[in-house]
Structure 1
């Protein structure tokens, strides 16, 4: 099962594709110096395969690569960062607005 993660900037979301079909996504709002993650979802038929973790890890790595601070409004992204302290330095403590 080939898995690919892409930044669909047109829809403001990272998508994880399984066999070329969207299996999940992480919605975001892009601000000048930060990225605000608002919602993460994996479609029911793809749950339990670790796709959300792969997706969010990739999105956080991409944020780091582009120099963006992260605002984890999405509970899943917040919990992921708690479980992976190597991403804590990305978190922006100011308000997202």
Structure 2
């Protein structure tokens, strides 16, 4: 990671939002959805199903920034992820301060959610 600790390049605009319509936390850079994390709420639990990055933004900095925003949002809402994709697990393993939001003992999978652990790319047509 660069010395800027995951912040967007100078002149770049970054926005994070919870798109409840599509059940996804989205990271937007310069008006383009750079990536998102699909989720599913069941009762008071949340499953972080998969992380998807636009190929134009497919780098560690964007992935790290997206996961950090997601975990901070869950912390703000006082929620914990009961299942999560491998990218989230790897981030938490490197940033143990988030282990209250994502207890690593829960593992990377949830048999009820067939999408957990999948990573994809955003189609070119998802500009905001």
Shorter-chain TM band = 0.7 to 0.9
Structure 1 portions without partners, runs of 5+: none
Could you tell me which residue of structure 1 aligns to residue 89 of structure 2?
Answer: 78
Aligned-partner SS, 1:56: helix
TM-score, structure 1 normalization: 0.87
Distance 2:23 2:40 in 1: 6
Structure 2 portions without partners, runs of 5+: 1-11, 113-128
More helix by share: 1
The Cα RMSD (Å) is 1.9
Asked if 1:10 corresponds to 2:17, the answer is: no
> Which 4+ runs in 1 deviate beyond 3 A?
92-97
Could you tell me which residue of structure 2 aligns to residue 41 of structure 1?
Answer: 52
Residue 51 of structure 1, aligned match among 52, 62, 66: 62
Residue 26 of structure 1, aligned match among 14, 37, 44: 37
Aligned length: 97
TM-score, structure 2 normalization: 0.68
How far 1:42 moved relative to its partner?
Answer: 1.2
Distance 2:45 2:64 in 1: 21
How far 1:20 moved relative to its partner?
Answer: 1.3
